[in-house]
Amino acid sequence: MTGRAIRSICVVGDGIVGLSAAAAFARALPNVTVTIVPAEPDPAAVAELQCATWPSIHRFHAAIGLDEQELVRAGIATHLLGTRFVDWARAGDNWVHGFGEHGLKAGTVPFHSLWHRASRAAEAAPFWHYSAAAVLGAAGKFTHPSRDPASPLGGFLYALRIDPPRYRARLAALTAPLVRHAPFAAAEHGDGGAIAAVTTADGGRVTADLYLDCSGSQAVLRHPEDRAFESWADWLPGRTMATCDVTGGAIDPLDRAERVAGGWRWHSALADHTRVIALGEDEGGVAVRFGCRTPWTANVLAIGDSATAIDPLFGTALHLAQDAILLALELLPGRDFARVEIAEYNRRSHATRARMRDLHALYHLRSGQRPLPDGLARTLEQFARRGRLPPSEAEPFETDAWIASLLGLGVTPHGVDPLSESVDLERVSHAIAALATRLTEAADRVPPYPQLLARLRAG
C-alpha cells in the first residue's frame, strides 16, 4: 500500500445502498479496512424501496460476487424484460419499453429510421413489436438471450427485479465479516467539509480516511451549513410516495406503469407478491423531492439518495447508486483527496445523472412542466429534425432505450432520415414484416415465465 493510499473506509448506512458499497469496496480493496455504521432507515429513499433494476445490475453483481441463479432460486430476484406503459402519454395507450436492441440495421442505416419511413407509409407495426425483449415480455415469456447470431432472440438485454428486504438480507450476509458499530449518532466536522469522526449511539467514535454517506435523502454526513440542493421539481414532480405489497396474480416478466388521477403507479411482480409504488397527490405516503447534491466533498462521498434523489421510474435509483460505487472505485483518489481527483469524479457523476434526469423528464413532458433541461431540449430538437440523437458523455442508457422511449411516447421525427431513402421502401416493408413474424414465432416456442421460473427455482 503506497503512502497516499486510503487505508480505512467507514460506510454510514446499512440499507441496500450502504451494504452494496461495503461489499464492493471490501472486495475490490482487500487491504483496506471497511466498517459499517448503521443509520436510521429513510422512508423516502427510492433506491431502498423499488424492485426494478437496469441491465447494468449484472455488472455490479459480478463485481461483488453475487450469482443470478442463486438470487432466483432463493426467491430474491425475478427476471425483467422491460415495462408496459398504460395510459401514460394519453388515454388508451398500451405499449412496451423493452431492453436492448430493436430491429436490424441495413448497413449504416439505423433500424428506427427505416421503421419511421415504413410507418409513415402505414406499413409498420408499433416500434416495440421489433424488440425481442418487448415481444417476449408482452407474451408473458422469458428466456436468456441466445448465443446464436442468427437467432432473433440474441440481441436483447434483461434486468432483475429484486425483493428489497430479501436482497438487503443477502447483502448483509455477504458483508457479515466486516466490523459493524453501534448506530450513527452524529458527525464531527473538520475543515473544508471533511469529517473528522463519526460518533455512535453507544458513545463510540469511529475514524476513517474515507466516509461513505449511504443514509438516504437525510444525508447525515452533510455539513449543517451545506444546504446546496439542485431541485428537479420543474421536470420530475414530487408530491407523496407510498409503497405496498399485494399478494396474488400471475408473475409477469414486464413491470407495469400506469397513469392515475393526480399521479402514477409502478407495479413489479416478485416471486410471491407484487410491489406497487404510487406517486401522487393523495397517496398518504412520505413527501418526496427530487434533485441532487455534489456527491464528493473532501473525504465524504455521498451515494444513492444522499447524492441523487430521482423518481421511481424504471430502476434508475439503484442503478445510479451502484454505478456511483463502481465509478468511485475506478477513480479512487489518495487519502489527501486532491481537488483535481474529486472534481473529475463529480464531473462524470453529474454528467451521468443529468442524462438520467433527462430521460425521466421525457416521460413527464405531457404534465406541462417547463422549461426543459438543456440536454433533453437538445435531444428533442435533434430527433425532430431527422431522428438522430446527439452524443452525450457518460450516457447511462443504450441508444435504443432512448429511441424506444421517444417513439413509444409518440415523439416522431418531422422528416425522413435521408440515409433511409437509399433503401427501397418495398424492401424495407418486407424486411421488417419478416422480422416481426420471426420474433413472434420465436416467442411462441418459449415457455410461459411462471413455468420457467418454477424450474429455475427448483434448480
Position 316 scores a pLDDT of 93
Q: Which residue, 24, 51, 48, is CA-closest to 301?
A: 24
What is the rounded distance in angstroms from the CA atom of residue 321 to the CA atom of residue 211?
15
The string of DSSP letters for 365-398 reads: GGGT--SPPHHHHHHHHHHHHHS-----TT--S-
- In this model, does residue 56 exceed pLDDT 70? yes
- Give SS3 for 263: strand
**309 contacts 241 by C-beta, under 8 angstroms:** no
Q: What is the mean pLDDT of the chain?
A: 92
Distances in whole angstroms, Cα of residue 196 to Cα of each of 186, 210, 265, 340:
11, 10, 43, 22
Tens digits of residue pLDDT in 289-302: 999 999 999 999 99
pLDDT tier, 190 (very low <50, low <70, confident <90, very high otherwise): confident
3-state helix, strand, coil in the chain (%, to 5): 35, 20, 40
CB atoms within 10 A of CB 453: 19
**443 contacts 139 by C-beta, under 8 angstroms:** yes
How far from each other are the two terminal CA atoms of the chain, in whole angstroms? 43
CB atoms within 10 A of CB 304: 34
- In this model, does residue 13 exceed pLDDT 50? yes
- Segment 421-444 mean pLDDT: 92
Pairing of strands 8-12, 210-213: parallel
**384 contacts 344 by C-beta, under 8 angstroms:** no
Tens digits of residue pLDDT in 72-120: 999 999 999 999 999 998 888 899 999 999 998 767 889 999 999 999 9
Residue ranges with strand state E in 190-299? 195-200, 205-206, 210-213, 230-231, 240-246, 254-260, 263-269, 274-280, 286-287, 291-292, 296-297
Position 2 scores a pLDDT of 57
- In this model, does residue 283 exceed pLDDT 80? no
Domains and their CATH numbers in the chain = 8-457 (3.50.50.60)
**Nearest 5°: CA angle at 309, between 398 and 67?**
55
Could you tell me which residues are beta bridge partners of residue 344?
none
Position 370 scores a pLDDT of 63
- In this model, does residue 248 exceed pLDDT 50? yes
Residue 442, C-beta contacts closer than 8 angstroms, at least 6 positions apart = 132, 151, 152, 153
Position 30 scores a pLDDT of 96
Residue-wise over 150-186: b if at least 16 C-beta within 10 A, else e?
eebbebbbbbbbbbbebbbebbbebbeebeebeebbe
Tens digits of residue pLDDT in 133-181: 999 999 999 999 999 888 999 889 999 999 999 999 999 999 999 999 9
Tens digits of residue pLDDT in 330-385: 999 999 999 999 999 999 999 999 999 999 999 987 545 568 899 999 999 999 98
Provide, rounded to the nearest whole percent, the portion of the chain with pLDDT above 90. Answer: 76
pLDDT tier, 282 (very low <50, low <70, confident <90, very high otherwise): low
- Segment 389-397 mean pLDDT: 81
Amino acid residing at 124 = A
Widest distance between CA atoms in the chain? 77
- Segment 175-202 mean pLDDT: 95
Grid cell listed for 337:
483527496
Pairing of strands 291-292, 230-231: antiparallel
